[in-house]
Structure 1
């Protein structure tokens, strides 16, 4: 069996392809796709989305523009089923995060966006809105593709700079009190709008509407620096305690002398100079999963031989939808590295296509992996990942 790593292709506007999109639009300016996915089928109905919002393990919000305790009131799930029967006929929106983690058919939509690195993808949020439903005029700090899955939604945008002080104070949502649109479009089923970070936008449903929002991760520089320093502390800082340089009597014993600070700075600088010896901290950072999407290990771990036999019998193993994966080729120590949910696993640099394959596909076939499974390091890794819960057989519960 041969795996091919072809991409599902969006229907880009005329004279634009993935290269031109990434060069001219990605993180630069909005782009409207008419019939980006003309044959796309929405695999979720409003009732099913409402049911997900009643689940305590699923992140959800309800935004009421006019009928809440305050204008643009945001309520957070889980919700009681009875709530939805009490809602007004207009001006509210239900939003459910990470729907791709729970509905495989929705996760397939991500395949159209893999011209962006997987580690940048976050989730598919799906919103259901009644007539005139909206979450208000606002900005986001990340890129998003807004695919109209059912019904129609009118989008208004402007690209003027927005300051943190511009939002209405005292609300859970970042609502702009003044919004003068530069452009607006009515999106019908299959249409899609790409918005780079910090472009102000306002989507208003015309009748009932369902929108799929494909969002991308954008860690803050504080998050990145914290992860970098954490790795540095763990791997580079010596375990010993502070020791004084050669001391001399001081006239003022409370004074911190420059020589003490110089000693600290010299020690820290020597550690910083060695930090680039291991850059795996970045892969661990970008594959960290949300707290409520943790992977649970199997109750009865399998031995490598038992795992191999079961894989042979089942023929296919499936990736856990909560497992975020990436890999890197790390030439400095001759090891390739797999990253899953903030952890790293190393393999010899001769691993070839093994890591591209297991990180690309949601379903792995025994026949294709058989040659690798005959080698101890690959069998050991796959068995370990199964025991940790990152891969599942069809009959696992």
Structure 2
């Protein structure tokens, strides 16, 4: 596993205790073994593809002081850009370019389910996306060129942004700290710290982002789960009634009955919540769906082919996680789908969820057992793993 070079002898455990979601931290030459060979033209090419999410942010060159344009773009768009004050941002570059995906290996001390994507930005001189805050944790790695980052710690609300823009730009920004990042440097920023990065000359930056699902988003998804899968059809039935002198009054007894019914409907065991959360947190974006195999294999044929080919590779768009159950079943989750497996305290689930390439020799003993073979075969048929010659 690749490791970050923490400053001043800091350990990953100390970072998580003292900095994670609390305060910024500057890393000088954070990834000594990593070199980003991505060129601006290659990034622009990605931004021209239909299934890639991209934006152009222009300062002082649009119809408003800050203007965002959304891709896909074309060559003519890039040929007409000014010499300065613009930025191209491309999401999920790790799903499209293996060399950028390598960046994620440095952050495996954090839970995989929290990881979102690697966004890569190319900025012309003085390019920026303006002073703003993010709702998630981010590591800002300087791949090429130089960028100056400024931050302040003042509280920011939704009313503080410039109105009428499709970007959340702060109208006032008084820097309390600032750093100039050189190639190889990195800045960690916790959620809700206002920051402003400005390119000094051309530069390329990688933002390794970690998702933080919103409370309302989770609550909505959980309620939908209950309505669709756990709450039976039917209607309330009254307990024995007595005549009311005021017919419009909602009696305390009726309210107590409703409360008991709702408590019963909403009460679910922890194992159901465990399985729901695994599906919820591994759901993939609409433009990053995986496709099932055109010709699915049965376990025996899959086993023979795996033995022959010797390796399978994870689909770059696959999100994997697992959790241990307390009712005789563990669960592996892939892009919102659950794959149950009899409980086993061994290393099978950690292994197949950790590595991008799985070698037959390492899994051979497990594949002799029907449950494990069926699971890996199902993952292959559903498009989450691929043979090199597929």
Same fold (TM over 0.5): yes
Counterpart pick for 1:121 among 107, 115, 124? 115
Q: Which segment drifts farther, 290-299 or 240-249? A: 240-249
Task: Indicate if the aligned counterparts of 1:142 and 1:196 stay in contact, CA closer than 8 A.
Answer: yes
| Deviating more after overlay: 207-216 vs 247-256 | 247-256
8 Å contact 1:40–1:149 — kept in the other structure? no
**1:150 paired residue number:** 144
Task: Indicate if the aligned counterparts of 1:39 and 1:190 stay in contact, CA closer than 8 A.
Answer: no
Q: Secondary structure at the match of 1:186?
A: strand
**How far apart, in 1, do the equivalents of 2:371 and 2:251 lie?**
54
- Measured against aligned partners, the alpha-carbon deviations of 1:263-308 in whole angstroms (never above 9, x if no partner) come to 2221221234443342211111111111111111111111111111
Q: Is the 8 A contact 1:38 1:191 kept in 2?
A: no
What is the aligned partner in structure 1 of residue 92 from structure 2?
Answer: 98
Pairwise CA RMSD: 1.5
Counterpart position of 2:217:
223
1:328-374 superposed Cα distances (whole Å, 9 cap, x missing partner): 1112x021111111111111112611100000001000111111111
* 1:300 aligned partner: 295
Partner in structure 2 of residue 44 of structure 1: 38
Change (3 A) 1:138 1:276: same
Distance 2:186 2:270 in 1: 41
Say which SS state the counterpart of residue 302 (structure 1) adopts: coil
Separation of aligned partners in 2, 1:243 and 1:58? 52
C-alpha separation in 1, matches of 2:156 and 2:302: 55
Question: Quick one: distance in 1 between partners of 2:197 and 2:267?
Answer: 49
Aligned to 1:3: none
SS of structure 2 residue aligned to 1:285:
helix
Q: SS at 1:264's partner residue?
A: helix
SS at match of 2:306: helix
Q: Secondary structure at the match of 2:75?
A: coil
Match of 1:329 in 2: 324
SS in 1 for 2:256: helix
- Separation in 1, partners of 2:76, 2:32: 35
Matched, 1:33 2:27: yes
For structure 1, which segment, 32-41 or 193-202, has the greater mean C-alpha deviation from structure 2 after superposition?
A: 32-41
Partner of 2:337: 343
- TM-score normalised over the length of structure 2: 0.96
Q: Structure 1 residues 15 and 277, CA, compared in 2 at 3 Å: closer, same or farther? A: closer
How far does residue 183 in structure 1 lie from its aligned partner after superposition?
1.0
Large movers: runs of 4+ above 6 Å: none
Q: Tell me whether 1:232 sits opposite 2:226 in the alignment.
A: yes
For structure 2, the 5+ residue unaligned runs are none
| Structure 1 residue 60 corresponds to structure 2 residue 33 | no
Aligned partner of 2:168 in structure 1 is: 174
2:312 equivalent in structure 1: 317
Question: 2:272 corresponds to which residue?
Answer: 278
In the alignment, is residue 112 of structure 1 matched against residue 106 of structure 2?
Answer: yes
The answer to whether 1:213 aligns with 2:207 is yes
1:167-215, CA deviations, whole angstroms, 9 ceiling, x for partnerless residues?
A: 1111111111111111111101000000000111111111110000000
Q: Which moved more, 1:315-324 or 1:238-247?
A: 238-247
TM-score normalised to structure 1 length: 0.94
Which residue of the partner structure matches residue 194 of structure 2?
200
TM alignment of 1:346-385, pairs within 5 A: 346-350=340-344, 352-385=346-379
Structure-2 separation of matches of 1:131 and 1:86: 16
Q: Is the 8 A contact 2:271 2:325 kept in 1?
A: no
Q: Secondary structure at the match of 1:372?
A: helix
Query: What are the ranges of 5 or more consecutive residues in structure 1 without an aligned counterpart?
Result: 1-6
**What is the Cα deviation at residue 382 of structure 1?**
1.1
Alpha-carbon shift at residue 77 of structure 1 (Å): 0.4
The whole-number CA distance in structure 2 between the counterparts of 1:277 and 1:24 is: 32
1:14/1:203 Cα in 2 relative to 1: closer, same or farther (>3 Å)? same
Alignment check: 8 A CA contact 2:296 2:381 kept? yes
| Aligned twin of 2:284 | 289
- Which of 162, 174, 178 aligns to 1:184? It is 178
Cα deviation for residue 70 of structure 1 reads 1.1
